[in-house]
Amino acid sequence: MLLAPGLVNAHGHAAMTLFRGLADDLPLQTWLQDHIWPAESRWVDEEFIRSGSELAIAEQLKSGITCFSDMYFFPNVVSELVHKHGVRAQIAIPVLDFPIPGARDADEALRKGVALFDDLKHHPRLTVAFGPHAPYSVADDKLESIRILVAEMDAGIHMHVHETAHEVQEALHKHGERPLARLARLQLLGPRFQAVHMTQVDDEDLALLTEHNCSVIHCPESNLKLASGFCPVERLWEAGINVAIGTDGAASNNDLDLLGETRTAALLAKAVAGSATALDAHRALRMATLNGARALGLDDHTGSLELGKFADLVAFDLSGLAQQPIYDPVSQLIYSSARDCVRHVWVGGKQLLDDRRLTRMDEERLIANAHQWGERIANTDKSR
Ligand SMILES: [Zn+2]
């Protein structure tokens, strides 16, 4: 076995597991406008969030993920599940310019977010951040309110930024300003700022990220599947920027497999940088563990095997024939292992996966429940 720090999935939308495979191989706008948004407005309520998030927590534990970031609706429901099932999470309060499930407007979302932050302030496994969806979907006045709140509360900001070239072009056309530059002007950037995606990075963007000590969260498989672009991981790393990794939601990935995601990241970084030495296996593992914890502001608690941190651990079984011989266990883990080698998982010293079996969750019930949701949702999707 290789004992490693628990993996940190630094970006996702947990309950979207219930939309896994609903609408594949479509352009981003068609995928969103004709499938995902209608399905969300038809189906997302507290019960949907409960079922989808439990499925995500179980899948992530079986994949060696001990800590995840969630940015989806009804953050109070997800928080209850994280508390109940013993995992660790950052819950980002979703904020958009339009009404969302669970909040009629951004003010209500922020009010509820502040209440949740206060409730969970001393929770050993839960932290609350603010999640303005993206620069194009949140207006200046709301970003201003968020800036004031996070300064008072010392909370993180988790946001999709520069996901596609189109996003940057449109902002330049409409406002004459790149989205990251606008966020800098609004004083949102800082060490607690988590910029998700960043497939578009010019010299000025790089200077802003460095100057403000922001983290970047790389989601390679979602970017590949939606043909969004390539995050220049090696360039960011060389500039000293903290780069973490996330799976994004299961509707655009389609799994919550951070080990597989890390392998993709390591391979893709070499192609993008044009260099076989880019993102070696050891740095890739660090990106999936300590860098994730650092991005979420949790590196005092998790992300590495050190005295004083919580025992968030994974035992990977490297005894299979596909891993032999073992010259370097980390290389074997990143380049030759799949998530079925996850044997045991502990969070805060409590064993949540024992010999590939969930200790606190009923896997058969979760599968049956997901199956029922799938049948109901399939009957209403217009592509079927
Ligand atoms: Zn996302």
Please tell me the distance between residue 324's alpha carbon and the centre of ligand 1 in angstroms. Answer: 36
Residue spans per domain, the chain: 2-382
Give the alpha-carbon dihedral of 131, 136, 137, 142, to 10 degrees: 70
Please tell me the distance between residue 327's alpha carbon and the centre of ligand 1 in angstroms. Answer: 36
- Residue 212 DSSP code: T
- Angle formed by the axes of helices 140-153 and 106-119, to 10°? 10
pLDDT in tens, 107-136: 999 999 999 999 999 999 999 999 999 999
Distance CA 288, CA 243 (A): 9
Distance CA 373, CA 28 (A): 24
What pLDDT sits at residue 384? 57
Give domain 2-382's CATH architecture.
Alpha-Beta Barrel (3.20)
Please tell me the distance between residue 17's alpha carbon and the centre of ligand 1 in angstroms. Answer: 13
Please tell me the distance between residue 31's alpha carbon and the centre of ligand 1 in angstroms. Answer: 14
Please tell me the distance between residue 37's alpha carbon and the centre of ligand 1 in angstroms. Answer: 14
Please tell me the distance between residue 51's alpha carbon and the centre of ligand 1 in angstroms. Answer: 19
What pLDDT sits at residue 382? 61
Please give the span between the terminal C-alpha atoms of the chain, in angstroms, as a whole number: 45
Please tell me the distance between residue 252's alpha carbon and the centre of ligand 1 in angstroms. Answer: 9
Please tell me the distance between residue 315's alpha carbon and the centre of ligand 1 in angstroms. Answer: 28
- Residue 236 DSSP code: H
- The DSSP line for 13-65 is -GGGGGGTTSS-S--HHHIIIIIIHHHHHHH-SHHHHHHHHHHHHHHHHHTTE
What are the residue ranges in the chain where pLDDT is below 50? none
- 3-state DSSP assignment of residue 161: strand
Please tell me the distance between residue 279's alpha carbon and the centre of ligand 1 in angstroms. Answer: 23
- 3-state DSSP assignment of residue 360: coil
pTM score, whole prediction: 0.98
Please tell me the distance between residue 223's alpha carbon and the centre of ligand 1 in angstroms. Answer: 10
What pLDDT sits at residue 29? 78
Select from 89, 23, 51 the least CA-distant residue to 372. 51
Please tell me the distance between residue 12's alpha carbon and the centre of ligand 1 in angstroms. Answer: 6
Please tell me the distance between residue 11's alpha carbon and the centre of ligand 1 in angstroms. Answer: 7
Please tell me the distance between residue 328's alpha carbon and the centre of ligand 1 in angstroms. Answer: 33
Please tell me the distance between residue 42's alpha carbon and the centre of ligand 1 in angstroms. Answer: 20
Please tell me the distance between residue 227's alpha carbon and the centre of ligand 1 in angstroms. Answer: 14
Please tell me the distance between residue 94's alpha carbon and the centre of ligand 1 in angstroms. Answer: 11
* Residue 103 Rama label (left phi>0; alpha psi -120 to 50; beta): beta
- Angle formed by the axes of helices 46-62 and 363-378, to 10°? 130
Tell me, rounded to whole angstroms, the distance of Cα 166 from its chain centroid. Answer: 22
